[in-house]
Amino acid sequence: MYTDDELLMISAIQHFYYCKRQWALIHMEQQWVENVHTVKGQILHEKVDDPFIFESRKDYFISRSMPLISYHLGFYGVADAVEFRLSKSGCYIPSKDNFYEIIPVEYKVGKPKEDNRDAIQLCVQAMCLEEMFQTTIEIGYLYYGKTRHRHLVQLNKLLRQEVYELSKEMHETLENDKTILAQYSTKCSNCSLYNICLPKIKKSYKSVKRYINIKLTEKE
C-alpha cells in the first residue's frame, strides 16, 4: 500500500506508457508545453459537463468529475464521468438506497489510438473505483471527440496486469530518481515536448549546451 505522499496522478500513466522520457519531463522535471493536441484535449474535457451523450433516466445516474484514489496502486485523479446503472449484482450506494453497477467513461480528443494507452488509463480509473466502492468493474468506455463515438473496453486480466507493472515501474523510477534518456521515434513529431526533449541529440553529447556548441561549430 502506498502513502498519500507516494500517490501519482492517474493521467501520468498514459504518458509513461507512450514515452517514459515524456513522463519524466512532465512529472519529474515539471516541463509542459501546449500544442494543438493538448489544447484540444482541454477543450473537450471542459465540455464534459455538457449532456451531449447521455440522458438521465430512472435506472441510472452519472457522476461527473469524480475524485478517484487507490492506495493499492498508488494513484489519484479525477474521472470524467462515472455511470451508475441499477443492478442487483452491483454495489450498494447509500445516498440512493439501491444497488448499482459502476462504469467509468473517459473522454479523449481525436480518434482511437493504435496502442493501449487510453485503455490503460481507463483501467486505472476502474481499479480506483473498485477500491473505493469495494466492488468489481468489468467494463468501461472511451469516448472520442473526433469520431463522437464511445468504445467499450473490457477490463480484463491482461490489462490489469499491465497496469500493475506500469505502476510498479513508475513508483520505482521516481523513488530511485533515475534519468530517462530520449529515444527518437516516429512518436516524436507529434510530441508537445519535442523542443525541450531534443530527442535527436546523441547520448554522447551528454548535454544540450555541448550539442549547441557542436552544431554551431559545424555551421562555421
Which residues bind to ligand SF4, rule: CB under 6 A? Answer: 19, 21-22, 25, 182-183, 187-188, 191, 193-194, 197, 199
Q: d(Cα 196, Cα 212) in Å, to the nearest integer?
A: 13
Q: d(Cα 204, Cα 174) in Å, to the nearest integer?
A: 24
Q: How far is the CB of 196 from ligand SF4 (least distance, A)?
A: 8
Closer residue to ligand SF4 in complex, CB, 19/159: 19
Q: How far is the CB of 175 from ligand SF4 (least distance, A)?
A: 21
Closer residue to ligand SF4 in complex, CB, 119/193: 193
Residue that has been written with the C-alpha cell 480509473 in this structure: 125
Closer residue to ligand SF4 in complex, CB, 25/102: 25
Q: Which three cell numbers stand for residue 187?
A: 512518436
Q: How far is the CB of 193 from ligand SF4 (least distance, A)?
A: 5
Residue 27 DSSP one-character state:
I
The answer to whether 103 and 141 have CB atoms below 8 angstroms apart is: yes
Amino acid at 204: S
Q: How far is the CB of 180 from ligand SF4 (least distance, A)?
A: 9
Rg (CA), the chain: 20
Closer residue to ligand SF4 in complex, CB, 91/193: 193
